[in-house]
């Protein structure tokens, strides 16, 4: 038992060293909020606490719910969303632009996608119709 404890302590120390986003293993990792397996690299999201613990999400709506609910008092080093136009590539959630469009079906039914910035979101809106939001506005919208 003692050895095990030492081992897990060392493991924890190493794991906690680096505060950085983690790679999502699509098809294997489960969403921290809704438990669904993360498969679609167009909608994933991630939170990394300032202590380096990473939480992965299958949809932006799950990340925002989790952020506003479970982690409302937790300091985050990274808040990341995938850029819809570059599947698998994370962008900073605060700088990103958001679009809710009937024509884009996100994993949790909110039809929500994210873009590198507000202009890119506006551009996507021309193609897909719907409404665009900033980080503050989308948090308000989902609250």
Partner 1 sequence: MFSKTLIVCDSCEYKTIKSALEAAQDGDTILVKEGIYKEANIKVTKSVSIIGEGMPVIDGNEEGEIITIGADNVTIDGFFIKNVGLSYTTEYAAVRVVNSKGFTIQNLKLEKLFFGIYLQRASHGKVLNNKITGEAVTEFNSGNGVHMWHCDFVEVRGNDVRNVRDGIYLEFSSNNTIEDNFTLNSVRYGLHFMFSHDNKVRNNVFESNGAGIALMFSKDMEVNNNVIKKNWGTASYGILLKEINDAKIINNEFRENTIAITVEGSNRIEYMHNDFISNGYALRMRGASYDCKIMHNNFLYNSFDLSYHGPMNRNVFDGNYWSDYTGYDLDKDGIGDVPYRPIKLFSYIVNRNAQAIILLRSLFIDIIDFSEKVSPIFTPDNLVDENPRMKRIAHDKDS
Options 4, 73, 75, 136; binder of partner 1; rule CB under 8 A: 4
Options 109, 126, 136, 143; binder of partner 1; rule CB under 8 A: 109
Bridge partners of 33, per DSSP, are none
Which of positions 47-76 make contact with partner 1 (CB under 8 A)? Answer: none
In the complex, least distance from residue 97 CB atom to partner 1, rounded to whole angstroms:
17
Nearer Cβ to partner 1, position 111 or 131?
111
CB 81 within 8 A of CB 90: yes
Q: Counting contacts by CB under 8 A, is residue 104 touching partner 1?
A: yes
Nearer Cβ to partner 1, position 37 or 68?
37
Torsion sign across C-alpha atoms 9, 14, 17, 21? negative
Integer Rg of the chain from CA: 16
Nearer Cβ to partner 1, position 79 or 104?
104
Element (H, E) at 140: helix 135-142
- Own/partner pairs, 115-119, CB within 8 angstroms, 24+ separation: 115/83, 115/84, 115/85, 115/91, 116/83, 116/85, 116/86, 116/91
Options 105, 125, 139, 141; binder of partner 1; rule CB under 8 A: 105
Torsion sign across C-alpha atoms 71, 78, 137, 62? negative
Which of positions 10-49 make contact with partner 1 (CB under 8 A)? Answer: 11, 26-30, 34-37, 39-42
User: Which residues form the interface with partner 1 (CB under 8 A)?
Assistant: 4, 7-8, 11, 26-30, 34-37, 39-42, 87, 104-105, 108-109, 128
């Amino acid at each position: 038992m003692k050895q095990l404890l030492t081992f897990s302590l060392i493991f924890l120390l190493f794991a906690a060293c680096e505060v950085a986003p983690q790679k999502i293993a699509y098809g294997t990792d489960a969403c921290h909020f809704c438990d669904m397996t993360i498969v679609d690299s167009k909608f994933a999201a991630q939170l990394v606490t300032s202590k380096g613990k990473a939480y992965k999400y299958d949809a932006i709506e799950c990340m925002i719910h989790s952020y506003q609910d479970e982690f409302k008092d937790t300091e985050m080093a990274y808040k990341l969303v995938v850029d819809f136009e570059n599947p698998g590539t994370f962008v900073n959630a605060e700088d990103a632009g958001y679009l809710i469009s009937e024509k884009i079906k996100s994993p949790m039914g909110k039809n929500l996608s994210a873009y590198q910035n507000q202009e890119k979101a506006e551009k996507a809106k021309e193609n897909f119709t719907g409404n665009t939001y900033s980080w503050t506005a989308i948090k308000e919208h989902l609250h």
